[in-house]
Amino acid sequence: MACVFCEYASGESPNSQSIVLKTDELVVFRDIRPASQHHLLACPAQHIPDAKHLTKSDIALVESLVEAGLGAIEKLGGNRLETRVGLHWPPFCLVKHFHVHLIWPESELTWLSRLIFRPNSYWFCTVPSLMEYLNNLPD
């Protein structure tokens, strides 16, 4: 398998112990380079290269990724209100499989992590901004 996130989704990853939640539609797992105490990635089981490959019909998918990720943060002892949620906008994606970052607690982000995961910068987009982008796509 060429995509490391597809390996997580299929259960074939050698790092399967880092999976926090897995369903037929999505997988939530720990980031290998955490920016804070809990840094999770939520990605669809289906391979979607990046956010620019999403359509209006993927809005429910994005919502389910966020909800699953926030639920996993809560199971780990975190809280939704202090969780940074967003995604890297192409071409600033290291792994070419759409995923959402969920980072808790925000207050523990280092200076560099605050820069890398800076909301609504050229490289990191919040979910509300992504939803606005998707809602404005032509039908």
Residues known to be catalytic: 99
Contacts (Cβ under 8 Å, ≥6 apart) of 128: none
Q: Is the bond into 91 cis (omega within 30 degrees of 0)?
A: yes
**Residue whose token pair is 């605050």:** 114
CA 116/CA 68 separation, integer angstroms: 23
Q: How far apart are the first and last CA of the chain?
A: 33
